[in-house]
């Protein structure tokens, strides 16, 4: 007979790429290979089981994985655990200080190392999952939330009127810090789940070190203060960044930002009682001063439930340029970049040519994927771990989308973000399109896509709630 008691386990492996693989993916950077490692990148696994459903969450400190790479990771983890691949959540922190996306190497250098690295990600993930399975033990789950305002809206109108990716202090952000706490039955911490909404673009073009950026330092802060392995769920951060300290090579900045979010997450984590209790007056003890003694009474709580559901949602597309135009543009841009590098041209010329090659590369990738189509499917997945509900999509949605979904969710502790199961580009709000800017210009999606996605995620959450009890208090 299956054990109906909730169990959880964690595992982690070092997933730092070799220094022979290209570094980052900034159009303005002039270096190709990293000079060193500021802190290791991790592949972390959380395995949960309620006796009926076992599921796994793989958390990777990289910028992007394609849907094919995500599928390979999920298949490998499923095989290692003996569960369906559909029961595996694969997400990335969207860290910009690690390897570039596997399909975006416009440098013609280090491709073999880059290919080898991404081919190993399923094995890293499966290894972490095996370690998590070996540590599986009866556990409890609690959830809460706090607030941090280190993030800043990044849709800035520059002095010349151009929409740029910078700092918009008056713009909308999502300040919530979602926290899930998983302890074993003896009270020892197992895992901390943290959700926050901020692009990991703190380390920018001048940085030459592999780093997990602020999410990695947030995890390290939480782990040092709580003793729990920390898992990060990135939010709907398409239009939210780290503020005026971003795009730097100052490691101290990522350490400070990570610590600030991590300290708030740890504060919430340490304030959660597992099991939940109610404190009531017990008696008065005479001790010179009369002392009022209180007693903790455990609250009745249902056994944590594990659920995982997914749905493919068709999002409307914008028209793409002809394939031959995109192919010609990338050849021209690549030839110019290679010639400038070979001639040791001034850094500003290499920088400009690198930007052009990156944009041409992005355009070609988009045309090959979406050209000639009016709609494209994106996957939406929801993983429930007791009171914590994690919804994610394979794209970069704007913060307004996440706030609307969380507000409408039937679950009290709902998180919504991108970078789950692959990458499909930015998903802006309709209001952003007339303003233009990087997110709009590189998105394959039409203005109506945000509303279609929001409705589909809310519907999926409602369907999930119909299958089990809901706590919205």
Residues 183 and 40 in one domain: yes
Residues 48 and 187 in one domain: yes
Q: Which burial class, exposed, middle or buried, applies to 210 when counting CB atoms under 10 A from its CB (0-12, 13-18, 19+)?
A: buried
Residues 236 and 365 in one domain: no
Residues 186 and 255 in one domain: yes
Q: What is the pLDDT of residue 109?
A: 85
Handedness of CA 383, 254, 188, 274 (dihedral sign): negative
Residues 218 and 343 in one domain: no
How far apart are alpha carbons 381 and 43 in whole angstroms? Answer: 20
pLDDT level of residue 469 (50, 70, 90 thresholds): low
Give 94-163 as a 3 state SS string: CCCCCCCCCCCCCCCCCHHHHHHHHHHHHHHHHHHHHHHHHCCEEEEEEEEEEECCCCEEEEEECCCCCE
Residue 262: which domain range? 7-274
Task: Kindly report, residue by residue over 319-356, the tens digit of the pLDDT.
Answer: 998 899 888 988 888 888 888 888 988 888 887 887 78
Residues 48 and 148 in one domain: yes
Residues 349 and 238 in one domain: no
pLDDT level of residue 105 (50, 70, 90 thresholds): low
Residues 85 and 170 in one domain: yes
Task: Kindly report, residue by residue over 177-224, the tens digit of the pLDDT.
Answer: 999 999 999 999 999 999 999 999 999 999 999 999 999 999 999 999
Is there a contact between 95 and 63 (Cβ–Cβ < 8 Å)? yes
Report the 10 Å Cβ neighbour count for 108.
13
Residues 348 and 267 in one domain: no
> Could you give the percent of the chain with pLDDT greater than 70?
97
Residues 359 and 255 in one domain: no
Residues 203 and 350 in one domain: no
How far apart are alpha carbons 294 and 96 in whole angstroms? Answer: 50
How many domains does the chain divide into? 2
Burial 348-372 (b: 16+ CB within 10 A, else e): eebbbbbbbbbbbbbbbbbbebbbe
Residues 218 and 351 in one domain: no
Report the 10 Å Cβ neighbour count for 106.
24
176 bridge partner residues:
147
Interacting residues of 30 by C-beta distance below 8 A, sequence separation 6+: 205, 347, 350, 351, 354
Q: What token pair was written down for 179? A: 């926290």
């Amino acid at each position: 007979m299956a054990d109906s008691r909730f169990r959880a386990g964690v595992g982690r492996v070092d997933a730092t790429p070799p220094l022979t693989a290209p570094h980052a993916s900034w159009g303005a950077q002039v270096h190709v290979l990293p000079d060193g490692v500021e802190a290791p990148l991790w592949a972390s696994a959380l395995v949960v089981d309620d006796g009926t459903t076992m599921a796994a969450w793989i958390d990777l400190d990289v910028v992007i994985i394609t849907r094919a790479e995500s599928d390979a990771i999920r298949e490998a983890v499923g095989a290692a655990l003996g569960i369906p691949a559909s029961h595996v959540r694969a997400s990335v922190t969207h860290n910009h200080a690690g390897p570039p996306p596997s399909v975006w190497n416009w440098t013609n250098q280090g491709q073999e190392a880059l290919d080898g690295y991404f081919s190993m990600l399923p094995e890293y993930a499966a290894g972490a999952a095996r370690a998590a399975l070996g540590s599986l033990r009866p556990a409890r789950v609690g959830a809460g939330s706090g607030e941090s305002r280190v993030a800043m809206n990044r849709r800035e109108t520059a002095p010349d009127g151009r929409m740029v990716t910078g700092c918009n202090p008056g713009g909308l952000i999502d300040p919530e810090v979602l926290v899930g706490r998983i302890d074993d039955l003896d009270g020892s911490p197992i895992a901390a789940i943290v959700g926050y909404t901020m692009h990991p673009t703190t380390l920018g073009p001048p940085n030459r070190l592999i780093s997990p950026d602020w999410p990695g330092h947030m995890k390290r802060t939480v782990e040092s203060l709580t003793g729990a392995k920390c898992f990060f769920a990135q939010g709907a951060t398409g239009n939210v960044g780290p503020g005026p300290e971003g795009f730097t090579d100052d490691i101290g900045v990522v350490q400070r930002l990570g610590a600030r979010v991590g300290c708030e997450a740890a504060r919430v984590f340490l304030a959660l009682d597992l099991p939940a209790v109610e404190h009531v007056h017990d008696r008065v003890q005479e001790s010179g001063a009369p002392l009022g003694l209180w007693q903790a009474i455990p609250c009745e709580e249902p056994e944590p439930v594990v659920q995982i559901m997914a749905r493919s949602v068709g999002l409307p597309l914008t028209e793409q340029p002809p394939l031959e135009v995109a192919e010609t543009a990338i050849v021209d841009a690549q030839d110019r970049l290679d010639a400038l590098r070979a001639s040791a041209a001034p850094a500003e010329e290499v920088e400009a040519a690198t930007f052009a090659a990156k944009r041409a590369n992005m355009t070609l990738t988009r045309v090959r994927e979406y050209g000639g189509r009016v709609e494209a499917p994106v996957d939406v997945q929801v993983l429930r771990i007791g009171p914590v509900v994690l919804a994610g999509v394979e794209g970069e949605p704007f913060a307004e989308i996440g706030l609307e979904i969380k507000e409408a969710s039937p679950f009290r502790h709902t998180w919504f973000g991108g970078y789950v199961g692959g990458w499909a580009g930015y998903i802006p709000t309709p209001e952003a399109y007339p303003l233009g800017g990087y997110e709009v210009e590189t998105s394959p999606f039409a203005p109506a896509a945000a509303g279609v996605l929001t409705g589909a995620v809310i519907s999926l959450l409602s369907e999930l709630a119909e299958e089990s009890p809901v706590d919205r208090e």
